[in-house]
Amino acid sequence: MYQIDFNIPSHIYFCGIGGISMSGLAEILLERGFRVSGSDMKASQLTERLSQAGARIYIGQKAENITPDIDCVVFTSAIHKDNPEYMEAARLKLATLSRAELLGQLMKNYSCPIAVSGTHGKTTTTSMISEIMMAAGTDPTLSIGGMLDSIGGNIRIGNGPYFVAEACEYTNSFLSMYPKVALILNIEEDHLDFFKDLEDIRRSFRLFARKVPADGLLIINGDIENYGQLTRGLPCRVCTFGTAASNDYYPLAISSLGERGMTARIMTPQGEADLALHILGKHNIYNAMAALAAADALKTDREVSLKALQNFEGSRRRFEYKGKFNGVTVIDDYAHHPTEITSTLTAAADCPHNRLWCVFQPHTYSRTKALMEDFARALAKADVVVLSDIYPARETDNLGISSADLQRKISALGTECYYLPDFESIEKFLAKKCIHQDMLITMGAGDIVKVGEALVQA
């Protein structure tokens, strides 16, 4: 594997530079004096930000973008071997790295890298830890899978010993990381276009846990079925959080404050503590416990940690308030897995509203097909569901399914459900059908957020 010497800046090219993680890595290298160039299929706020910071950005991926003066080309898992830039890099025999490999190499430059993994909750928990580390004055470097208003983006470049990053299991990306502190928030079936089944996913998380050194710490959700199978024989210290009193961190009581957030009295190894959050959802109490466990392990002042969690306003696209139209409250959420959908719709139930509308954009054909029944049951918790076409992301094979299949299953459960393929039709339908005091949630990992934004701005 090509090794970047971070003390000798070179020319790094990013194929897919506009992605949330790739753009962040590019920004870190720019700060370190590297020459950065890269391409993406379309311009965005992220590519514009990089351009202003000194990167050379190409719109469209073409062979001529790859030049012999490039020292290393970085690819995401979405780039296939028939990509013209990939083929040209191979022809020129240029060094290449995956996004995850570059992130792993960056981690080695910090004495205490912190990696947050799990099927759900990574961005929120990474953001919580980030807020705590900043409040404690540790000057951390941050790489977050979403936009955090307090840092004006998804990247913060610090001079302290801490590097806080998300660790995604897809294509085993997190196995390229070198965490001193690792978190496993939960493990469920997902990314079944790569993994064979749940046991295959658990095997990868076990390998991730083994990346933690003997003087490190693994923080794991004790509610994961047979979690001991993942931690058995590890040389590092293991800390658990979860619902049961057998965990190191667990709730004694949880209360909803409606739109104002959540509170909980929790038990920790240092005694009882009171959590207060300005974000909704019982699941976020558990995310906060995991973040607090990490902060405690790093000997952060407990009062500073609790205050930072209380001040945390959430990450963008995580139950984010977008505005109103005709008295209808519009929320946007990134949920794209049945468990996430259930958590979001449950949180919405604590907010005053008339009818709850969920406008869902399924994400990838493989996930939709594999979890079709679970998606139907989760979405049926809304009063009215509107489905758009499936967002294909990296996939080209529709596997013989469409959102019409999901619409039939949701309707069969007794929930009013509509399938309207394009955003324009959805916007017109909602503008006509939603009434005063309804709540509308746009939901999915694609670009469904545009629907709510268009309604609010109309």
Burial profile 20-51: b = 16 or more Cβ within 10 angstroms, e = fewer: bbbbbbbbbbbeeebbbbbbbeeebebbebbe
Q: Which of 76, 123, 329, 415 is catalytic?
A: 123
Q: Which of 85, 88, 101, 166 is catalytic?
A: 166
Q: Which of 27, 101, 122, 427 is catalytic?
A: 122
Q: Which of 111, 196, 145, 131 is nearest to 25 (CA)?
A: 145
User: CA 164, CA 167: separation in Å to the nearest integer?
Assistant: 10
Residue carrying structure tokens 């012999």: 68
- Measured CA to CA in angstroms, residue 444 lies from 109, 202, 216, 324, 364 at distances of 35, 25, 35, 20, 10
Would residue 123 show up in a list of annotated catalytic residues for this protein? yes
Q: Which residues are catalytic?
A: 122-123, 166
